[in-house]
Amino acid sequence: MVVAVCACGPPRAPGEPSWIERDASRAHAIAPGSPASPAGPAIDPARIDDTDEAAVREALEALGDRAPAGKLALRAARLAHHRGDDAEAQRLLADAARAADAAEVAAAASALARELVTTPVDPALIAVLLPLSGPYAGLGGELRAAIELAPAAGTRWLYLDTHGTPDGAAAAVDAAVVRGAIGLLGPVGQREAIAAARAAALHGVPIGLLAPADGADAGAGVFRLVASPADEGRAVAQLAAQDSFPTVAVLAPRDDVGRNAADGGSYDPTGGDVEADVKAFLGLVPAKNSRLAAHLARHGKSGWTTFSPDVPFTLLYLPDRYDRAAIVAAFLPYYNVELRTGEPPDLDRLARKHGGHIPQVVQLIGGAGWHHPSLPVRGGPALQGALLVDDFAGDLGADLAVEFSAAFQRRTGRAPSTAAAEARDAAALLAAARTQAVSAASTSPRAALRAALAHARLDDGACGPAAIAPDGELERTPSVLEVQGDALILAP
């Protein structure tokens, strides 16, 4: 059993990863004493067209406007055009025109300039990258419905299909650039988000990701506008500290969500039988627990239900889906783990049950995956008094949450998920930042939007207030719900 002391989820690493891909091949021969050796590689002017982009840019930085800076800038412009970044290619051609050897490359530079396609930026257009076909089309349709319920503030949404693949996401970014979009919203898958963020950073287009994974980079124009499993783990740790739970244990599924939420014990979410993993988590392996082995020797199989386990934690976090969490929780009282129910514990009864000593009473807590109306019934007595943290409280939330839930229900015929509510708020935040960027009258609308997003705030939303932190990640205080009877209520 692994017990984490109020430390659920890894800390953020600001600015990681960098979304701008770079050529890793940077080893070049430098002639001793050559003019470029202090600041960059020596470049053979006759072989510039064989030189990789990283070496070309390093040499350009060292040379300034001195020859052969024109030839180097032309080479870099061709490479930028080849990868589809015509705006960068134009900037490099301007550098070539200022170089000492500009006359030598003027004809070639003019020919390249005629090939460049530049679309004027449409300051009202935001491209939304969603899986509108393929296996994730249902999710894409749900998020599109939610985004269309957000206040647009003059924004026009351009929906582009990623097909749920990284290549589709990168192609959607390219299509958005050709259409002149000032910014991007989405995609939703982690691998899609990485591909889209890299493409967006390359084109200089700010992007607000809807993928729940840490890793924004405000400097590169990459922002994350939804919560991640690690955010949920941090929220649980903060709640534990605030409510004086000194020790926190984590029992998570062995999948990506469980790994991202926290470090701790784990179980197989696909096998259907979690009992063996729960027993191992509680230290109930006779070969490793001599007290249990002796108890079973005296009482036989019935000893499993009368043994009082050692429980070294006060709060147990189960970051899983509501149906599996209910199964896992049911094994805890079966193995005599005492759970908080919301009512004061009967100490005399507990002492009689546990051989004269008062056992540790444990508070159960889950996350957004628990937020389902059937949870109280599925969990039964084991989940009475359990808590869950979720950004979206639904009908239990403030007025805007209730209004959004009703509007989404009318549009789709079903209640919105947390992902839908987060997408609605992400669209509202991005639309407000776009309005601010346009009013700034910047010569570079995309740079203005990037600057506006870096300090963006949402004073109210379906999920409550939110703000962009300096690292480009979204910050928001989640709601805390409690299981009482056959319903979920806002925790006091």
CA distance 238 to 317: 12
pLDDT mean over 441-454: 88
- The CATH class of the 231-390 domain is alpha beta
Kindly report the CATH number that applies to the domain delimited by 122-227+400-481. Answer: 3.40.50.2300
- Strand locations in 287-397 (E): 315-317, 338-339, 361-366, 387-390
CB 464 within 8 A of CB 355: no
In angstroms, rounded to a whole number, what is the distance separating the alpha carbons of residues 298 and 413?
A: 58
Structure confidence by residue, pLDDT tens digits, 190-226:
999 999 999 999 888 999 999 988 789 999 999 999 9
C-alpha 212/C-alpha 428 separation (Å) is: 18
Q: How confident is the model at residue 395 (pLDDT cuts 50, 70, 90)?
A: very high
Q: Which two tokens stand for residue 247?
A: 């020790």
Q: Which stretch of DSSP H or E encloses residue 387? A: strand 387-390
Percent of the chain with pLDDT strictly greater than 70: 87
Contact assessment for residue 247 and residue 5, using Cβ atoms and an 8 Å cutoff: yes
Q: What beta strand segments (E) does 166-314 contain? A: 181-185, 207-209, 222-224, 248-253, 265-267
Statement: residue 80 has pLDDT above 80: yes
Q: What percent of the chain has pLDDT over 90?
A: 69
Q: In Å, how far from its chain's centre is CA 40?
A: 37
**Rounded distance between C-alpha atoms, residue 154 and residue 74, angstroms:** 40
pLDDT in tens, 251-306: 988 765 555 555 567 776 665 678 899 999 999 999 999 999 999 999 999 999 89
Nearby residues of 352 by Cβ (< 8 Å), 6 or more positions away: none
Containing 161, the helix (H) or strand (E) segment is strand 156-161
How confident is the model at residue 140, as a pLDDT? 97
pLDDT tens-digit readout, 36-60: 434 446 677 778 888 888 888 998 8
- Across-strand partners of 122? 181
In this structure, what are the phi and psi dihedrals at residue 419, rounded to the nearest 5 degrees? Answer: -60, -40
Torsion over CA of 389, 390, 391 and 392, rounded to 10 degrees? -140
Query: What are 308-348's pLDDT values in tens digits?
Result: 999 999 999 999 999 999 999 999 999 999 999 978 888 99
Q: Which two tokens stand for residue 189?
A: 């898958």
pTM of the model: 0.76
Percent composition of the chain: helix, strand, coil (DSSP 3-state, to 5): 45, 15, 40
pLDDT at 93 over 70: yes
Name residue, tokens 């002017």. Answer: 45
**Residue whose pair of structure tokens reads 């992902």 in the numeric block:** 419
Instruction: Name residues whose C-beta falls within 8 Å of residue 388's C-beta, 6 or more positions apart in sequence.
Output: 365, 366, 367, 368, 370, 371, 480, 481, 482, 483, 488
Mean pLDDT of the chain: 87
